[in-house]
Amino acid sequence: MIENLEEVQILAETWNAEEVLQWSFEAFGNRVEMASGFGVEGMALIDIAARLNPDLRVFTIDTEFLFPETYQLIERVEKRYGISVERVRPGLTPEVQAEIFGPALWSVNPDDCCALRKVGPLKEKLSGLGGWITAIRRDQTSARANARKVEWDAKFQLVKINPIADWTTKYVWNYIFTHEVPYNPLHDANFTSIGCTHCTRAVRAGEDARAGRWAGSEKKECGLHVELPVAPLVRIATSSACD
Ligand code: SF4
């Protein structure tokens, strides 16, 4: 735990993305890692961080339901930046999940599915770290509007670092084009936010950027950045792997 976290939290709001990242690398060394879903924000952040830190550690929560384009982008990132991306997978294979919880848990209860395939594996991964770096931005959802650049993550009990919390969509794309950073080609087909195949569609004219995630339901977050209720059986399945 950083003793003067409150001071850092205030100071960090005056820092740019490079300064926030630099602080995190100096404060935590190899106990800080970047989580990435390889969306456009994540790509910009990887590009910045890889230039600052040749030992950058990146992991992704591989639900085993990602788009082929996403898996291909991960391989491209590994080659371009000379890093090895850790694939953090759920304890349950898709087949075992289907046997226990039914063939399409994502449509019956997406919060439970996310708990099994995303939140549980993330919790286990973060338990060995002092800090984690994310590419969340304040203008993405109302739940992210108050994100600080450096903050205590009470849910996972470590420091959370959000270096581009204050970036806009326009700023992100400007960075991508200026620095010729690769990105998921699905973005060019109106997939503004990209997650699992079962729960992501392209957005239509007039819809907000995350309307293609869990379309038709009230769900807006997978639970990595906010707390979501999950069923008792799912809690047991995830806690045996994580607690
Ligand atoms: S995004 Fe959909 S398929 Fe992926 S873990 Fe969540 S509910 Fe399951």
Exposure of 153 by Cβ count < 10 A (0-12 exposed, 13-18 middle, 19+ buried)? middle
* Ligand 1 in reach of 195 Cβ (< 6 A): yes
Listed in sequence order, the residues at least 6 apart from 86 whose beta carbon sits closer than 8 Å to its beta carbon are 33, 57, 58, 59, 60
Q: Which of 60, 62, 63, 224 to mutate to test the pocket of ligand 1 (most atoms within 8 A of CB)?
A: 63
The low-confidence residues of the chain, meaning pLDDT below 50, are 240-243
* Ligand 1 in reach of 110 Cβ (< 6 A): yes
Residue 215 carries which side chain, given as an amino acid letter?
A
Q: Which of 89, 105, 106, 226 to mutate to test the pocket of ligand 1 (most atoms within 8 A of CB)?
A: 106
Question: Strands (DSSP E) along the chain, which ranges?
Answer: 32-35, 58-61, 86-88, 131-133, 150-153, 158-161
pLDDT at 210: 83
Helix (H) or strand (E) run with residue 79 in it: helix 68-81
Nearest protein Cα to ligand 1, atom 1 = 196
* Ligand 1 in reach of 136 Cβ (< 6 A): no
Which residues are registered as beta bridge partners of 213? 200
